[in-house]
Structure 1
């Protein structure tokens, strides 16, 4: 079953990892960044990783080192421990997805990227997808899920078929990915779009003229893109993409 992406995801620019700015005390994926995006009226893109006790935590990296006042993999820490680890550049700790859902409460569109837990974009997925599905139960508001790993998206199609889902896609140049060439070549073709019942992709804004992207758009796919960092990049991206995921500037709302 394919579920259309709500119109709000095409009319409100999406703040990448929420409206983050550490100079203003708003780290990536923090409550402060989420509140700022809501006040500004932007849609919000967030990331989820899994704790040791299989809770969905709002955090981008596999490891804590870059973004938090701790080191090591996220997945070896319990949710309770992660909730006590402070984010760098702010005064908050790492939030659970359930808390973020309560904070957003349908006020703006929320796009959730499920980070690859397999490590190889393979089929060893399931626990994080189940945790996300449990948290989403009863959520009232514009919501969608996506992942680079097509197996994750297909799993979400089974777990919560009523929620719109998409693929995060890229040119998959081998030098940019710790994956074998055959895996990159496979993912580059976006082969799982129909099998996963997707209604959108979020593609690297530098690669939007790829024939496969144009083919999907012509077939009715909603085209989002990541991650635009200037008005000039946005102007070029919007020649093809219907919406942008942005950071480092304030994206204008379409007229």
Structure 2
């Protein structure tokens, strides 16, 4: 098919030795968090490592240009403070506490020092489509310099993977995707255009999309597919059959 030939030309599959570690792990979504252990916290990452799991985490950019590990653009849900993450410095963010615990908002540098290559890390870079991504990407690349443990960056925004393809080609990069129930011809074309633009080494798809003809086609040509967010045994079984690596929350870890 023409689409398959275009996939191979515009978004070539990666070398197996570059991405093989993705097939060998499951990944704790925002760390191994619970009602008493906040997501994206040092405690959640320590728990994931203790269980032998890889880590998926989220990165925002602080007002002073540092990469901080936090999912939301706003502070309210997780800290009770008000305002945007990018309006405060990394030091100011570190003074806040997550979900009323003693856990603070860590920087990506702190997390990498904690993990120290013991388990693989998937770093999701958050972006706003109306904004630039270069500053966020550059902040992450600076922290990753010299880090030798298995790691990858990924984003819903294809500009992020494209930036790393151009400016940090040794960094494994992924494109996060969701069909969101839309499998029209226009939606399928949009997803392929995003992939061709991003040139990712792997995909991270919504578990609710599985099984997917698009995902199957990419796996068949050697592109690894992680799947998020796995929360049940049924979803874990679907990922085992139709994808390569689960990104899971507590209770759905793979044996």
- The yes-or-no answer on 1:168 pairing with 2:170 is no
**Map of 1:51 onto structure 2:** 62
Q: d(CA) in 2 for partners of 1:144 and 1:3?
A: 15
Distance apart, 1:124 and its partner CA: 2.3
CA displacement 1:1-35 (0-9 Å, x = unmatched):
85655333222210000111133xx1000000001
Distance apart, 1:195 and its partner CA: 4.0
CA displacement 1:128-165 (0-9 Å, x = unmatched):
10000000000011011100000111112222110111
Distance apart, 1:123 and its partner CA: 6.7
CA displacement 1:69-122 (0-9 Å, x = unmatched):
311111111111011111115211100001101001100000100012x2x3x5
- The yes-or-no answer on 1:19 pairing with 2:29 is no
Alignment of structure 1 residues 77-92 onto 2, 5 Å: 77-92=88-103
**Map of 1:214 onto structure 2:** 216
Alignment of structure 1 residues 134-173 onto 2, 5 Å: 134-172=142-180
Higher alpha-carbon deviation: 238-247 or 207-216: 207-216
Q: d(CA) in 2 for partners of 1:189 and 1:203?
A: 11
- The yes-or-no answer on 1:224 pairing with 2:226 is yes
Residues 158, 197 of structure 2: 8 Å contact kept? no
Residues 172, 185 of structure 1: 8 Å contact kept? no
Between the two proteins, the alignment pairs up a number of residues equal to 241
Q: d(CA) in 2 for partners of 1:222 and 1:34?
A: 24
Distance apart, 1:232 and its partner CA: 1.8
CA displacement 1:205-245 (0-9 Å, x = unmatched):
01022322121111111011000101121112221111100
Tell me, what secondary structure is at the counterpart of 1:168? strand
> Does the C-alpha gap of structure 1 residues 161 and 87 become closer, same or farther in structure 2, counting only changes over 3 Å?
same
Distance apart, 1:188 and its partner CA: 4.9
Pick from 195, 200, 203: which aligns with 1:201?
203
Residues 236, 252 of structure 2: 8 Å contact kept? no
Alignment of structure 1 residues 64-75 onto 2, 5 Å: 64-75=75-86
Tell me, what secondary structure is at the counterpart of 2:50? helix
User: Tell me, which stretches of 5 or more residues in structure 2 are unaligned?
Assistant: 1-11
CA displacement 1:166-201 (0-9 Å, x = unmatched):
100001458xxxxxx9xx937852323344331210
Q: TM-score, normalised by structure 2?
A: 0.87
Residues 79, 96 of structure 2: 8 Å contact kept? yes
Tell me, what secondary structure is at the counterpart of 1:6? helix
> Does the C-alpha gap of structure 1 residues 186 and 236 become closer, same or farther in structure 2, counting only changes over 3 Å?
closer
Q: d(CA) in 2 for partners of 1:124 and 1:187?
A: 24
Q: d(CA) in 1 for partners of 2:160 and 2:98?
A: 27
Return the structure number with greater helix share.
Answer: 2
**Map of 2:41 onto structure 1:** 30
**Map of 1:240 onto structure 2:** 242
- The yes-or-no answer on 1:7 pairing with 2:20 is yes
Residues 177, 203 of structure 2: 8 Å contact kept? yes
Report the RMSD for the aligned CA atoms in angstroms. Answer: 2.2
